[in-house]
């Protein structure tokens, strides 16, 4: 089945055209700076990359360009059998992917205050696709859906019940589509050897998830993606009273604190040089003490959260590293394993050095749990959901 996967942001739109039978990515690209000056589209097909400087005043124009680019590249638009939309926040409505109807679209907008920079744009793009191409079915794939049915002891916050109920406050998590794909592929590879898996999606945004027999038992992101692990520019878990202190004593506004904790903190703030772990690793190797401490904190926190996720399953048999840092940083994987050595986790040095697009085991034969590197593929997971819902 030919599926177009769309991931819309407030000023961007990424797309991939996939074949769910062969898993081939026929074309992909990104529309950047939508509604901003100097907008452009980057496109790739058959190994060839191109860039077009075009005016993208809104998402509607961006969607039209995507279809025109695909058509110009020789792809039969009529052969696209479904469109899958990544939706960041499914809120209190969506426990699974669903075919788009007027009702589902309204719900995507209703829960948008939980992810205002994403959901509104995503809803707009869904509406645009339905309007421009009414014969093509659309499917929403919420990132939060995988965590929807996690145990209440893990998802509930200790706030007054009337407040929680009125404002739908709970741990929603994120990266659910990635974590679900990691379970799917790892279980396909490991079979009955894997029942209790800890998925470590570590990139600029990062979260861990405890997955027991395919079900999310707990995850590190909370009401929003600010919670959990230290990230590129996000604080991760922090005493909530810090907000009150900065407001009352520091004189910062709520918006300023929001910006600080989401865009000016994390690895960038700790290292004082960059939010990119590659830059930090390089500087640390050259003796930069701030960067050395940044990495120590990062590895410690990942290991600490692995132990936290393990508690939700009363143990674990598999750890998977994925996403930008998880897949590519040999040092991160090695140092996290050292932090977990007391639990019997051991990584094979040579296996850990291998760079590959294929899933691979990097632990030693006598490690207490199997450790793998599994490249994530959220787009394929979305396309598979489209096939499941529309292909029949």
Tens of pLDDT, residue by residue over 13-23, are 899 999 999 99
**Catalytic residue numbers?**
143
The pTM (predicted TM-score) of the whole model is: 0.92
324 annotated ligand binder: yes
277 annotated ligand binder: yes
262 annotated ligand binder: no
pLDDT digits (tens, 9 = 90+) for 252-292: 999 999 999 999 999 999 999 999 999 999 999 999 999 99
- The number of CA neighbours under 13 Å toward the Cβ of 384 is 14
pLDDT digits (tens, 9 = 90+) for 103-138: 999 999 999 988 887 888 899 999 999 988 899 999
Across the chain, what does the average pLDDT equal?
94
- Residue 185 reports pLDDT greater than 70: yes
28 annotated ligand binder: no
Find the mean pLDDT for residues 304-324. Answer: 97
205 annotated ligand binder: yes
Find the mean pLDDT for residues 159-177. Answer: 95
Residue with the larger pLDDT of the pair 284 and 47: 284
Q: For the chain, which residues make up each domain, given as ranges? A: 2-142, 192-378
- Residue 197 reports pLDDT greater than 90: yes
- Residue 208 reports pLDDT greater than 90: yes
- For Cα atoms 387, 390, 392, give the angle at the middle one, nearest 5 degrees: 90
pLDDT, position 392:
64
pLDDT, position 48:
85
Percent of the chain, pLDDT > 90? 80
251 annotated ligand binder: no
Say how many residues make up the chain. Answer: 392
Report the topology of domain 192-378: Nucleotidyltransferase; domain 5 (3.30.420)
Find the mean pLDDT for residues 310-323. Answer: 97
- Which element (helix H / strand E) includes 334? helix 330-339
2-142 CATH choice from 3.30.420.40, 3.40.50.970, 2.40.50.100, 3.40.50.300: 3.30.420.40
361 annotated ligand binder: no
pLDDT, position 249:
97
CA 290 to chain centre: 28
pLDDT, position 132:
87
End-to-end Cα, the chain, rounded Å: 11
Cα–Cα distance for residue pair 51/40, rounded to 1 Å? 7
Check for a shared fold between 2-142 and 192-378. yes
281 annotated ligand binder: no
CB 58 within 8 A of CB 121: no
Find the mean pLDDT for residues 76-82. Answer: 87
- Which element (helix H / strand E) includes 11? none
């Amino acid at each position: 089945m030919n599926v177009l996967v769309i991931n819309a942001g407030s000023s961007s739109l990424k797309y991939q055209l996939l074949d769910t039978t062969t898993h081939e990515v026929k074309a992909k690209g990104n529309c950047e700076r939508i509604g901003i000056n100097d907008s452009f589209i980057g496109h790739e097909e058959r190994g060839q990359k191109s860039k077009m400087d075009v005016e993208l005043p809104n998402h509607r124009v961006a969607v039209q360009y995507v279809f025109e680019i695909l058509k110009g590249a020789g792809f039969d638009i009529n052969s696209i059998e479904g469109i899958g939309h990544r939706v960041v926040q499914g809120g209190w409505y969506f426990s699974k992917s669903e075919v788009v109807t007027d009702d589902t679209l309204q719900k995507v907008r209703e829960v948008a205050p939980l992810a205002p920079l994403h959901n509104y744009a995503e809803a707009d793009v869904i509406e645009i696709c339905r309007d421009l191409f009414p014969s093509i079915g659309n499917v929403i794939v919420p990132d939060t859906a995988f965590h929807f049915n996690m145990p209440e002891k893990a998802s509930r916050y200790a706030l007054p019940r009337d407040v929680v109920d009125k404002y739908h406050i709970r741990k929603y998590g994120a990266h659910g589509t990635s974590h679900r794909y990691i379970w799917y592929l790892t279980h396909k590879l490991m079979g009955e050897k894997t029942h209790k898996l800890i998925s470590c999606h570590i990139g600029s945004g990062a979260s861990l998830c405890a997955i027991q027999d395919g079900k999310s038992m707990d995850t590190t992101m909370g009401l929003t993606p600010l919670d959990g692990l230290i990230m590129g520019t996000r604080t991760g878990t922090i005493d909530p009273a810090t907000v009150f202190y900065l407001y009352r004593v520091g004189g910062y506004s709520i918006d300023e604190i929001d910006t600080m904790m989401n865009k000016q903190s994390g690895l960038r703030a700790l290292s004082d040089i960059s939010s990119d772990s590659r830059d930090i690793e390089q500087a640390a190797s050259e003796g930069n003490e701030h960067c050395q401490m940044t990495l120590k904190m990062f590895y410690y926190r990942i290991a600490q959260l692995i132990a936290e996720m393990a508690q939700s399953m009363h143990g674990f048999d598999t750890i998977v590293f994925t996403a930008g840092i998880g897949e590519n940083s040999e040092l991160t994987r090695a140092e996290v394993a050292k932090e977990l050595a007391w639990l019997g986790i051991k990584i094979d040095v040579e296996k850990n050095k291998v760079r590959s697009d294929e899933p691979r085991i990097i632990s030693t034969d006598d490690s207490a749990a199997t450790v793998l590197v599994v490249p994530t593929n959220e787009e394929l997971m979305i396309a598979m959901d489209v096939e499941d819902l529309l292909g029949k």
